[in-house]
Amino acid sequence: MANPVREFLGGVGVLLRGFALLMRRPRLFLLGALPALITSLLFLALFVLLVVNLSGLAEWATPFADDWDPLWQGLVRGGLSLAALVGAVLLMVVTFTTVTLTLGSPIYDKITELVEQELGNAPEGPEEPLMASVWRAVRQSLAIVATSLLVTVSVFVVGFVPLAGQVAGPVLAAVLGGWLLAIELVAGGFDRRGMLTIRERRRHLGTRRMRVLGFAVPTYFLLAVPFVAIVVFPAATAGGAILTRDLLPGGPGAPRGPVPGGPASGGPFPGGPAPRD
């Protein structure tokens, strides 16, 4: 069994390798930052709008607390406000990834191709009609965004728990949000190998959960920082292609033997059920 700490650090190293690869191609790096810049400006405006109206939303959601002791009223509404912020960040990071990958699809395909060529034995990709490919990508992205909405609601509900909710909410958001992010970022590498379904992606992700989280959780936090995401996203795309190679049989340190099947082997979250393809 692989050392969990070593696997997690190996996942962090995947993101750093993505940066290193793109630093040798500054023009491609800058091109990859443009779609992320456009999406960042849009999402930042939406987030500021939420923050400005946050206290009013918390009061609207908790009319039952109007007559409570100020201490408990503050704890509940403060926890709810924090949960709303955390949930919004989770939803925005996952949706940001979907929107940015869509806007910059040709650029990010080129980044994935660069990584494959740099590492050797680049797959040629499946023969799939353009419209079928677009419809599949849209359908799968919507499934992941819908799942992230469910996670956001869960984080929001956890926020009602005084004290514990303020800790559990962000941790839950980072782990589950990072997992969903990984499903999106490895899509290009899996598609090139003819593995076109979310089920296939999450099945392989489930074989090395700590490595996936080591890559996905830091990426999640970095993408949540306005404008830092612009720099991180191209490297995260390259990291997704590198992670794909690590996960598939024959990749560096990949587990030998058949990949476990069944819905429980990867889930949209570690150990959970999958969104529909």
The per-residue pLDDT string of the chain (277 residues; one tens digit each, 9 = 90 and over) reads 578 899 999 999 999 999 998 888 888 888 889 988 988 888 888 888 888 888 888 878 777 777 788 787 777 778 778 777 877 877 788 788 888 888 888 888 888 888 888 887 777 766 667 677 778 877 887 888 888 878 777 777 776 676 676 677 778 888 988 998 899 899 888 988 888 888 999 899 999 999 999 999 999 889 888 788 889 999 999 999 999 999 986 544 444 444 444 444 445 555 444 454 5
Provide the pLDDT for residue 258: 45
Tell me how many degrees the CA angle 242-246-250 measures, rounded to the nearest 5.
125
**C-alpha distances out from residue 83 to 46, 94, 149, 152, 155, Å:** 17, 17, 13, 9, 6
DSSP assignment of 16-75: HHHHHHHHT-HHHHHHHHHHHHHHHHHHHHHHHHHHHTHHHHHHHH-GGGTTS-HHHHHH
Please state, in angstroms and rounded to a whole number, the distance separating the CA atoms of residues 229 and 28.
16
